[in-house]
Amino acid sequence: MFFFVIACLLGIACGMWVPVIPYEFAKYSAIAIMACLDSILGATNALLKDKFDIKIFVSGFFVNSIIAMVLTLIGEKLEVNIFLAAILVFVYRIFNNFSSIRRELIERHGKMKQKEQ
């Protein structure tokens, strides 16, 4: 977990100070980041519930990102902002995963307190 946090911080720092993605690809990178964040939070949720499967995580991580970027490309060709719908779906799923993770952690904390007493 420690290395994951360090890697995330390094990624954020690199993204802030080393702009390597041209502005034309901002929609694609934004939708890919949302898809990847959704997959990571879904995996964290599954891990807490002892339902984690690495194959599902890896396939979801890459396939969701690719599908979201392809939909964004199709939307640009049709001059329709399809990526906004994809972002709304990903944000909805991210908040659902956050709330599920929060509930799970609160339940675990409550069980630990009961064992102590």
pTM score, two decimals? 0.75
Number of H-type helices and E-type strands within the chain: 4, 0
Q: Average model confidence (pLDDT) for the chain? A: 86
Structural domain boundaries of the chain? 24-116
Which is more confident, 115 or 98?
Answer: 98
Give mean pLDDT, residues 100-112: 90
pLDDT band at 1 (very low <50, low <70, confident <90, very high): low
pLDDT at residue 17 in the model: 77
Q: What is the pLDDT of residues 22-53, one digit of tens each?
A: 777 888 888 888 998 999 999 999 999 999 99
pLDDT at residue 99 in the model: 94
| φ, ψ dihedrals at 22, nearest 5° | -65, 155
Q: Exposure string (b/e) for 10-49, b if CB count within 10 Å is 16 or more?
A: eeeeeeeeeeeeeeeeebbebbbebbbebbbbbbbbbebe
Whether the per-residue pLDDT at 19 is higher than 70: the answer is no
